[in-house]
Amino acid sequence: MENHNVDTSKLCLMTGNANPALAQKISDYINVRLCDAEVGRFNNGETSVMINESIRGKDIFIVQPTSHPVNDNVMDLLIMVDACKRASAHSITAIVPYYAYARQDRKTRGREPISAKLVANLMVAAGIGRLLTVDLHAAQIQGFFDIPVDHLLAAPVIADYFKRQTYEDELVVVSPDLGGVTRARALADYLKAPIAIIEKRRPRPGEAEVMSIIGDVKDKVALMIDDIVDTAGSLCEGAKALKKLGAKTVLAACTHPVLSKNAVEKINDSVIEKLIVTDTIPLPANKPSDKIVVLSMAQSIGDVILRIQAQRSVSLLFR
């Protein structure tokens, strides 16, 4: 851990129910205990929040990714923020490693909502003074907020894992679509590896067809990188295409393992050798897989929290 020499006496770390394991890891790393707060449900299904200690004048950091069940976790966050505001907290920072509705960031057809903007409005209206998030699906979502947004990237954590493997000059980083080239380039720069791009089309939402691959993958270790793995259809089809074009090994990495429906079964049955994910979202306990390796974002998030608290530059950590 960096030597921050931070006075943490006014720092209060709190967690909702979305990812308490990540919150505990952050707590252990920065050596700040989790605040005694309970988030539950009333009999009618409404969110219940009870903070069992004084937080007057404290700087609150709430760990709450808005993953499945999305709407419950969004409401839990908003109500926790309101409780903190009414308890006279000095400042409230929301740590939302996975930002829900990020794929609804623009209108692609008439009469569609821009839900990512709506969620931003709700967070600001509730009283959040700062947002810390990880690998937004669309980086421009930062502009939906009128408060500071710290956009942390998982690429350094993922790159560090692959640097410890023995792939030498065989690695090529593959973007699963044209929109992900910037993300692939960032990881490739860390790994000093070339990139390739899968060109695909989506005949229907949630479905993808591989059209062609730009770049050389023959006899290479192909590493596909994406921000989200949802149904895993694109990932598995891309892996199949890479194998057909002569890739020796196919690996995959993503920041947010949404893994909806039968995604884990698809990955287990695919040619993907390993899927590297982070713990922004807890993995479904009832869907284990020997192929999935989980890396933690706790240290990266913890360093940002300490820098925010010390009023030091955060951008240095994002380079």
Active site residues: 200
Neighbours of 214 (CB within 10 A): 13
Instruction: Determine the Cα–Cα distance for residues 255 and 38; give it in Å rounded to an integer.
Output: 28
How many residues does this entry show for the chain? 319
203 by DSSP, 3-state: which?
coil
Strand ranges in 164-284 using DSSP code E only, listed in sequence order: 171-175, 195-201, 209-214, 221-229, 249-257, 274-278
Q: Are 198 and 241 in contact (CB under 8 A)?
A: yes
Q: Are 233 and 208 in contact (CB under 8 A)?
A: yes
Which conformational region is residue 197 in: left (phi greater than 0), alpha (psi within -120 to 50 degrees), or beta? beta
Instruction: Determine the Cα–Cα distance for residues 264 and 187; give it in Å rounded to an integer.
Output: 24
Question: Closest by alpha carbon to 31, among 283, 315, 314, 309?
Answer: 309
Residues ≥6 apart with Cβ < 8 Å to 226: 176, 180, 183, 234, 235, 252, 253, 254
- Amino acid (1-letter code) at residue 285: A
